[in-house]
Structure 1
Amino acid sequence: MIDFSFTGEQEAFRKVLRDFARSELIPSYTRWDRDAMFPRELWRRLGGIGVTGLRIPMAYGGGEVDCVTAGIAAEEISRGDFNLTYAVMLNSLIGEILTKHASAELKQTWLPALASGEKVLGIAITEPGAGSDAATLRTRAERRGDAYILSGEKSGISVATVADGFIVFARTGLEDGAKGVSAFLVPGDLPGVERKGYQDMGNVPIGRGSIYLDHVEVPAAYLIGEENKGFYQVMNGFDLSRILIALQCLGTAWQSLEETMEHVKTRYAFGQPLAKFEGVSFPIATHYTQMELVRWQCYRALWLRDQGKTHTKEAAMCKWLGPKVAADVIHECILLNGHYAYTKEMPLEQRLRDVIGLEIGDGTAQVQKIVIARELLGKEFKPY
């Protein structure tokens, strides 16, 4: 039997989030971008309605919901504020990593604060010379007694300038490739941790930037999982974040398209509504169709994850198509709304800037196609 419906509880949760997005998030969405401010208080409020703890066990104050419900949250919060959806995407990924692999001490220290929205954690993998090829990391962690000493640079890190801590991937072994990579929870206030923000095109409130680790001493208990096996232990989590990113992008595109449909029904040209012109209605029909197809692929991929089934190629499909389709939709909406949409008086230009950032983050379209090809043809035919 195939059932494409959401549960009554999921639909009720969707309504709560959509109402919250309309009343609390949309009005201030562009302000955080203009002021280059991270909306920490709204992040906490998302904690109050359960959004920041969706994939965290109830024993630590989380909701312990299924992945499909987390997808609903990503889609709905993004309708109001694209950047606040990082509270869903990042926290779901990090919540899973800590729950599955962290020590009891780390879980007790960080999971309740993460679930409540009081603390913000980032994930630091990318380096200046290691982006999608994360197995070539150069940041090192050396064991010294009851601590590890971390040194290196992490770049392109979301929430770099505002996070309270980071899950940092560093090389602990001499092996090449993914072997010998470990993960650590590094509090942001430790001596030797420095940050530098970027002047980005979009995602401005998220505080993306670089993190510099200069002989940072981290307690050995802050190792996540087994030494030299961190890369393999947490990579499965990126199948989840890639799907949530796709829904994050689609959510803001849905909002843009719905606003634009109202506009073309009430804006007149040559004596009739714009919606009566095929040059207007056909692009809307095309984009709506494409979004529906990608959206249901996203929820199918999340369902596969909830069932414990393989979904790596499905997640990669979602990741490369979701942001692309969303960017195309928002671009079309700008054109259909005319010159006012090109100004900062409307949120469309910011939505486009924000979505483009996630055509890069968590792996570009090219990288996702490599993943898909590898899954279809076998690892021995990996195209590099």
Structure 2
Amino acid sequence: MLNFSFSQEQDYFRDMLRNFSVNVLLPQYTKWDREKTLPRHLWKKLGELGVNGLRIPEEYGGSGAECVTAGIAAEEIGRGDFNLTYAVMLNALASEIITNHAAEQLKKTWLPQIASGEKIVGVAITEPSAGTDAAGIRSTAVHKGDCYVLNGEKSGISAATFGDAFIIFAKTDQNSGSKGISAFIVPSELPGVECKGYDDMGNIPIGRGSIYLTEVEIPEENLIGLENNGFFQVMNGFDLSRLLIGLQCVGAAFQSIDETIEHVKTRHAFGKPLARFQGVSFPIVTHYTQLELIKWQAYRGLWLRDQGKKHTREASSVKWLGPKYSQEAIHECMLLNGHYAYTKDMPLEQRLRDVIGLEIGDGTAQANQIVIAKELIGKEFRPY
């Protein structure tokens, strides 16, 4: 039996978040971009609303919600403030890594603070010479006595400039490729940790940048899971974050379409509303239809994850096409709104810049097509 409906609780959660997102977040969305700052008070407010701890068990201050519910949060917050959706996506990825693999003391220390919004924990995998090919990681973690000593550079890391800690992936076995990677929780205030931000095109409030590690000593208790097993711990997490990213982008695009529909219904040309022209209405219909397809593929992927079923192919297809179709829709909305939409007085130009960034993050289009090909064709497909 097929059932595409949400539960009563999920419908209530969606309505609550839609109201908060459109009425509280949206009016200030462009403010944080101009001021180049993340509104931590709103991040904490999302913690109060239960958003930050959706994938954290109740005993650690979260709600232990289903992945589908996290998807609802990503879509709805994406309507109001694209960058604050990282409170869903980033927290879900970090929380699952800690919940599923960390020792009890690390869980008790970090999960309640993530859920409340008091602490922001980034995930640092990418390096200047290692992105999609995580086996190329060069950062090292050497076990010395009762601690590990970390050295290396992480690049393109979300929350680099304001993260309170990072889950750092580093080589603990130089001769084992991806099998020799381990994960550690590294507080950002430790000696030897230096964070520098980028002057990015979009996603400015999220503070993307590089993290430099120079003889950083961390206690061995900060190792997450088993040594040399970090790479495999995080790969399953990408299936979740990629689905949430798709809904994050779709939410921003749907909000743009809703705003544009109101514009073309009230703006007149040649004696009738713009909406009466097929050259206006048909592009809106096209983008709406594409976004609906991505939206339901994303929720299907999240449902599969909740059922413990394989969903890698669904996640990669959503990550590949979600940002692509969303930025195309927002671009069209900008054109349909006319020259005023090209100014920073409207949110469309910022949404376009922000969404484009996630055509890269968490796997480019090409990387996700490789994943789909491997899933679809099998071991016969070998791109390298």
CA apart distance, 1:380: 4.1
Structure 2 unaligned residues grouped into runs of 5+:
none
CA distance in 1 between partners of 2:147 and 2:326 (Å): 45
1:263-289 deviation digits (Å, cap 9, x = unpaired):
000000000000000000000111111
CA apart distance, 1:175: 2.3
TM-score, normalising length: structure 2:
0.99
The answer to whether the 8 Å contact 1:54/1:62 transfers is: yes
Residue 42 of structure 1 is matched in structure 2 by: 42
Residue 366 of structure 1 is matched in structure 2 by: 366
Any residues of structure 2 matched to 1:194-205 within 5 Å, and which?
A: 194-205=194-205
CA apart distance, 1:174: 2.3
| 1:227 to 2:238 alignment | no
Any residues of structure 2 matched to 1:108-147 within 5 Å, and which?
A: 108-147=108-147
Residue 161 of structure 1 is matched in structure 2 by: 161
1:74-96 deviation digits (Å, cap 9, x = unpaired):
00011000000000000011111
Question: Residue 309 of structure 2: SS of its match in structure 1?
Answer: coil
CA distance in 2 between partners of 1:376 and 1:226 (Å): 31
Residue 267 of structure 1 is matched in structure 2 by: 267
CA distance in 2 between partners of 1:187 and 1:250 (Å): 33
CA apart distance, 1:22: 1.4
The one-letter code of the counterpart of 2:102 is: A
1:278-310 deviation digits (Å, cap 9, x = unpaired):
000000111111011110000000000000000
Question: Residue 263 of structure 1: SS of its match in structure 2?
Answer: helix
Residue 151 of structure 1 is matched in structure 2 by: 151
Any residues of structure 2 matched to 1:47-196 within 5 Å, and which?
A: 47-196=47-196
CA distance in 2 between partners of 1:218 and 1:377 (Å): 43
Question: Residue 191 of structure 2: SS of its match in structure 1?
Answer: coil
CA distance in 2 between partners of 1:144 and 1:79 (Å): 48
The one-letter code of the counterpart of 1:51 is: V
The one-letter code of the counterpart of 1:245 is: I
1:135-179 deviation digits (Å, cap 9, x = unpaired):
110000000011000000000000000000000000000224211
CA apart distance, 1:379: 3.0
Residue 284 of structure 1 is matched in structure 2 by: 284
The one-letter code of the counterpart of 1:342 is: Y
Residue 23 of structure 2 is matched in structure 1 by: 23
1:335-375 deviation digits (Å, cap 9, x = unpaired):
00000000001000000000000000000000000000001
The one-letter code of the counterpart of 1:217 is: E
The answer to whether the 8 Å contact 1:246/1:322 transfers is: yes
What's the C-alpha RMSD, in Å, of the aligned pairs?
Answer: 0.6
CA distance in 1 between partners of 2:39 and 2:364 (Å): 27
The answer to whether the 8 Å contact 1:71/1:244 transfers is: yes
Structure 1 unaligned residues grouped into runs of 5+:
none
1:190-247 deviation digits (Å, cap 9, x = unpaired):
0000010000000000000000000100110000010001111221011000000000
Residue 8 of structure 2 is matched in structure 1 by: 8
Residue 307 of structure 2 is matched in structure 1 by: 307
CA distance in 1 between partners of 2:175 and 2:261 (Å): 56
Question: Residue 64 of structure 1: SS of its match in structure 2?
Answer: coil
Question: Residue 142 of structure 1: SS of its match in structure 2?
Answer: strand
> How many residues of Structure 1 are paired with residues of Structure 2 in the alignment?
384
Question: Residue 195 of structure 2: SS of its match in structure 1?
Answer: strand
Q: Give every structure 1 segment of 4 or more consecutive aligned residues whose post-TM-superposition deviation is greater than 2 Å.
A: 174-177
Residue 334 of structure 1 is matched in structure 2 by: 334
The one-letter code of the counterpart of 1:206 is: I
Question: Residue 236 of structure 1: SS of its match in structure 2?
Answer: helix
The one-letter code of the counterpart of 1:119 is: K
CA distance in 2 between partners of 1:195 and 1:179 (Å): 27
CA distance in 2 between partners of 1:293 and 1:252 (Å): 15
The answer to whether the 8 Å contact 1:136/1:176 transfers is: no
TM-score, normalising length: structure 1:
0.99
Percent sequence identity over matched residues? 68
